[in-house]
Amino acid sequence: MGVTSWFMFVLLTVASAVGKLQNIVLLTLASAVGKLQNIVLLTVAYAVGKLQNIVLLTLASDVGKLQNIVLLIVASNIGKLQNIVLLTLASAVGKLQNIVLLTVAFTVGQEQLPAVYGYYTEGGIESGLETTTDSFLLNGKNITLITGTIHYFRVHPDYWRDRLRKLRAAGFIGVETYIPWNWHEPEIGVFDFGDGDSEFSAFLDVVGFLKMAQEEDLLVILRPGPFINAEWENGGLPSWLYRDTTLKTRSSNSAYISYMTEYFNVLFPLLRDLQFTAGGPIVALQIENEYGTVARGQHPPDTAYLEEIKSQMERHGLTALKFTSDSVISSRSNGSVPGAIMTANLNGLAEEALTLLKQLQPDKPLWVMEYWTGTWDHWFEEHHTRSTAS
């Protein structure tokens, strides 16, 4: 095969570590009759055990001339890039046709920022998530809770890590999720937390999901119900509850509390060792969900129900920060319980809601638990849309 008439694909892989080249280079070239007629895709993976950079390099050349622009963007968070890269390209016939100065994004002399867990556990864990008048502390250090929602039971487990990794890459430091009672106890006394024999069992490995969140450097805000709403069937309450005609859901009704207790006796022990203070990811636990929508119609509100949930958490060793969440403008403090911080759910009127929340609990920081970007549709009703302006 002659020099001017070769049709070959060249696959070059270079891998190394510790004192060697720390890059994996995949280079594919196609050529014909002495000309580079195709695109060169160069992907560089750089890190110690992680992919940190993706480099896209596009070159087109013809008879010794570089005819396209070379764009190389390098992003790094491994400490600091200590060199500026100068790439000189030489083309055919012994002439230097172009000198390309690649642009490198880097920090000079900036120390590598530690991961979330690295920072908040440095020196040992002395305390979990706590509140001051205007801020949160995690293990004694200030923290701003920027979190997003991923419902593990709505995502195929094969995609859990992908979704969690994308959440962390977007700058979030935590993930929030509900736990649906009706999926974890589909029949009375039949529990499935990922170890059952149904086709949905893999979706129910909540412990696996929470551990995976920690592996992806995400803290966890957990909302175990028993009622979760979440635009989920019956708010997560099992349908078999209604076989008992004496039962009243979301109340201190003895029959309801009995079933709830049996469920929590299985669930809560799974969570105890996953708390931040035990080396796990859970930093906060929600009590019920938007109970203010029920309580505001009661005189007086059935706060004994909320106190029972909180008490059961504590009996099982769940000491993480407790909170309630409500649409504060309409519910005010009706869904609250002593010993749990109130949070706001909203999609508008934020200033009004947060001003009211601060008035209701002046000794606590402001916390938005749900910031809605959309809303649901009911069958046969007009489809809801929202603009970015709203």
Q: Which of 290, 308, 351, 381 is the catalytic position?
A: 290
Class of domain 116-371: alpha beta
Segment 184-201 shows an average pLDDT of 96
Is 370 one of the catalytic residues? Answer: yes
Distance CA 193, CA 197 (A): 11
Query: According to the model, what pLDDT value does residue 390 have?
Result: 62
Which tokens in the block code for residue 15?
């891998």
Model-level pTM? 0.73
Query: According to the model, what pLDDT value does residue 113 have?
Result: 58
- pLDDT tens digits, 278-292: 999 999 999 999 999
The secondary structure of 361-386, three-state, reads CCCCCCCEEEECCCCCCCCCCCCCCC
Residue 336 near residue 323, CB atoms below 8 Å: no
Is 187 one of the catalytic residues? Answer: no
* Domain assignments of the chain as residue spans, ordered by start: 1-112, 116-371
Q: Which of 308, 370, 381, 382 is the catalytic position?
A: 370
Which tokens in the block code for residue 14?
């270079």
- pLDDT tens digits, 72-126: 333 333 333 333 332 333 333 333 333 333 333 333 333 455 699 999 999 999 9
pLDDT over 90 percentage in the chain: 65
Distances 362 to 58, 191, 285, 303 between C-alpha atoms, Å:
57, 41, 21, 21
| pLDDT reading at 249 higher than 90 | yes
| pLDDT reading at 163 higher than 70 | yes
